[in-house]
């Protein structure tokens, strides 16, 4: 059963040219269209030519013969009477006149036929060449002319010197020729009538056959055109529509691998679909990779995952990831894990003690010995080896460097394979930069006193010290930061009613809720008292408001425990986006505070997105 199915699938693909290149598809479509138009045209012209040929035969041959027969028959009828009744010389003169008129009629008919030979287009010429000459009609006319000549010869005899017996004998001969002529004319008339009927029937049959044939050809051609154009439409429109949908999904970050393009052909569309599916797989892999490393606990784990994707996705075998300590001016191999860096290095070991010797770290540009041999003096030259070093830019400087070592390429195909691997590796590197930057920043924070002692969140001093790095990173990546200013509703009543211990507990639980509702790459700050500031890194328009609503509902649903039982609290939030709302970072914080004030003014327990209408130039902050 499967063999039969495969056979029919291959047969359909063969007759529909599904696997032919697009250029050949349209060439065949053009040839096919020309063929059907030519076929219909040939059928129309040939059938009309045949009809015209037969019509010409009727009008230029049959009708003149018919007219000739009428003329001869009429004269023969009169001649028969004159020969039977006439006895004088006047009668012979009358007979002679009738014979002359009949001969003239024959000559006139023959002349008319000769002056109007069958002519026309090539189809008529072919039909005419294949038709047989009407020798029977010519023979009949020659026989009639022979009888008329014989009668004419008899009329030349003078009757004055003839006896009555001779006159009677001459009259009998003349009458015999008249009867023979009448018989020949009658026979000729029957033949001409038969030809007329035959030609008329052939014209009718040709018209009927032409109409049916042309109609069938046109219907068949239209069906083929319909199915072929529909097939072309399906072959082109569906993959393109699917690509548009997938591109839209990729643009919104919602990559769905279940919507891969179906590869139904081996032409350019099939190749495009295959390559597009590979692209979707790559984008999906990069997207998932970024989500995974965002949730990783440390920078070391992120480096390890980068190394894994270099091997699995990009097919890299020989690579190193260097981490740069800008404060100390050193760099070290962090992946793969090794015991002796010196033996593992492809560069001079001095770069470990002075990171500025590394050309990629110093310039912040990709360095490739494929582009210029010996571009980096620190790379240890080895026969058949080439290197590509890619810096990972963090806060405006190379915070890490990835080095790939390859065999020298001798063909364009080998170079293309290397470029493809580097492109895949760069995709993962670029998408990990924000996470690496955040992780490095978190490491720095852990080494400082920028953490609030009560909640474990970053404090206001952290924002003051590191705001420039955060701002520079966002501007460099051309991304926005959503700022969420949060304030517990009626928090003073908690302290007044339950005491500061319960108030501190509420703040701790609230900080846990805030951290739980955001990503690891986002930053939660205790801004002061019961106020919190959340920095959502690399967001789109509207993302901040959705996270704020998530936090608001989480706080509203949470049960805060006190000595007197369960306490329910709510939170109000104002949201602004930097640099969409303003190009000043601290101004954006003010805008978020203005939106928070509006939320409280409207009854609390709500989230308000900042808009220009909320900003009052006369307000003082």
Catalytic residues: 530
| Residue given tokens 């580097």 in the structure block | 422
Query: Biggest alpha carbon distance in the chain?
Result: 174
Using CB atoms within 10 A of its CB, is residue 428 exposed (0-12), middle (13-18) or buried (19+)?
A: buried
Instruction: Please state, in angstroms and as integers, the Cα–Cα distance from residue 123 to each residue in 216, 217, 350, 535, 591, following that order.
Output: 22, 20, 93, 87, 89
**Half-sphere exposure of 223 toward its Cβ, with a 13 Å CA cutoff?**
6
d(CA 126, CA 120): 10
| Count of beta carbons in the 10 Å neighbourhood of residue 331 | 24
d(CA 125, CA 217): 25
C-alpha angle with apex 53: 48 to 54, nearest 5 degrees?
Answer: 100
d(CA 601, CA 606): 10
Q: Which residues pair with 607 in a beta bridge?
A: 573
Q: Which two tokens stand for residue 455?
A: 């909640």
Counting every residue written for the chain, the total comes to 621
H/E segment holding residue 377: none
Question: Do 436 and 325 contact (CB within 8 A), yes or no?
Answer: no
Phi, then psi, of 471 in degrees rounded to 5: -65, -45
d(CA 1, CA 7): 10
Q: Which two tokens stand for residue 145?
A: 């002319």
Buried b (16+ CB within 10 A) or exposed e, 369-397: bbeeeeebebbeeeeeebbbbbbbbbbee
d(CA 494, CA 536): 29
Question: Do 405 and 336 contact (CB within 8 A), yes or no?
Answer: no
Q: Which residues pair with 561 in a beta bridge?
A: 566
Q: Which two tokens stand for residue 90?
A: 């006047």
d(CA 551, CA 516): 9
**H-only helix segments in 447-542:** 460-477, 491-498, 500-517
Phi, then psi, of 324 in degrees rounded to 5: -105, 130
**Half-sphere exposure of 543 toward its Cβ, with a 13 Å CA cutoff?**
22
**H-only helix segments in 20-62:** 22-57
Q: Euclidean distance between the first and final Cα of the chain, in Å?
A: 81
């Amino acid at each position: 059963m499967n063999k039969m199915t495969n056979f029919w699938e291959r047969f359909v693909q063969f007759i529909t040219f599904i696997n032919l290149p697009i250029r050949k598809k349209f060439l065949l479509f053009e040839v096919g269209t020309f063929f059907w138009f030519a076929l219909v045209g040939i059928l129309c012209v040939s059938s009309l030519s045949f009809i015209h040929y037969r019509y010409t035969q009727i009008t230029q041959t049959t009708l003149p013969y018919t007219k000739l027969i009428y003329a001869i028959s009429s004269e023969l009828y009169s001649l028969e009477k004159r020969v039977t009744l006439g006895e004088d010389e006047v009668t012979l003169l009358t007979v002679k006149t009738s014979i002359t008129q009949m001969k003239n009629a024959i000559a006139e008919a023959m002349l008319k036929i000769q002056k109007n030979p069958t002519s026309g287009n090539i189809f008529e010429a072919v039909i005419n060449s294949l038709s047989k000459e009407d020798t029977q009609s010519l023979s009949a006319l020659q026989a009639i002319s022979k009888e008329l000549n014989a009668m004419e010869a008899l009329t030349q005899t003078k009757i004055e010197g003839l006896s009555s017996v001779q006159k009677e004998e001459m009259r009998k001969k003349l009458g015999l020729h008249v009867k023979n002529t009448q018989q020949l004319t009658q026979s000729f008339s029957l033949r001409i009538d038969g030809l007329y009927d035959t030609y008329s029937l052939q014209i009718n049959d040709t018209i009927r056959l032409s109409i049916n044939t042309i109609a069938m050809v046109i219907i068949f051609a239209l069906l083929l055109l319909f199915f072929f154009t529909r097939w072309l439409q399906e072959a082109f429109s569906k993959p393109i529509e699917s690509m548009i949908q997938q591109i839209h999904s990729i643009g919104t970050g919602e990559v769905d691998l279940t919507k891969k393009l179906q590869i139904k052909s081996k032409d350019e569309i099939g190749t495009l679909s295959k390559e597009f599916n590979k692209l979707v797989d790559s984008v999906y892999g990069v997207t998932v990779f970024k989500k995974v490393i965002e949730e990783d606990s440390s920078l070391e784990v992120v480096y390890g995952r980068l190394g894994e994707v270099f091997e699995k996705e990009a097919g890299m075998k020989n690579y190193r990831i260097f981490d740069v300590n800008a404060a100390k001016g050193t760099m070290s191999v962090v992946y793969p894990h090794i015991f002796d860096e010196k033996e593992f290095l492809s560069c001079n070991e001095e770069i470990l003690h002075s990171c500025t010797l590394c050309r990629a770290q110093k310039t912040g540009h990709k360095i490739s010995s494929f582009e210029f041999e010996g571009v980096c003096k620190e790379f240890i030259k080895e026969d058949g080896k080439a290197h590509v070093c890619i810096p990972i830019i963090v806060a405006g400087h190379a915070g890490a460097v990835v080095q790939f070592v390859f065999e020298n390429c001798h063909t364009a195909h080998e170079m293309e394979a290397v470029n493809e691997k580097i492109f895949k590796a760069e995709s993962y590197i670029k998408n990990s930069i924000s996470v690496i930057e955040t992780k490095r920043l978190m490491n720095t924070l852990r080494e400082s006193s920028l953490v609030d002692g009560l909640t474990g969140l970053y404090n206001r001093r952290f924002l003051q010290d590191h705001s420039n790095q955060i701002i520079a990173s966002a501007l460099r990546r051309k991304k926005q930061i959503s700022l969420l200013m949060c304030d517990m509703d009626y928090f003073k009543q908690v302290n007044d009613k339950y005491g500061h211990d319960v108030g501190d507990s509420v703040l701790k639980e609230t900080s846990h809720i805030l951290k739980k509702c955001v990503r690891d790459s986002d930053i939660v700050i205790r801004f002061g008292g019961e106020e919190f500031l959340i920095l959502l890194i690399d967001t789109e328009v509207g993302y901040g408001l959705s996270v704020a609503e998530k936090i608001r509902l989480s706080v509203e649903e949470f049960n805060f425990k006190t000595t007197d039982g369960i306490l329910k609290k709510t939170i109000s939030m104002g949201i602004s986006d930097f640099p969409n709302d303003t190009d000043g970072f601290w101004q954006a914080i003010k805008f978020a505070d203005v939106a928070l004030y509006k939320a409280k003014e409207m009854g609390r327990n709500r989230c308000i997105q900042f808009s220009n209408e909320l900003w009052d130039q006369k307000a003082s902050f």
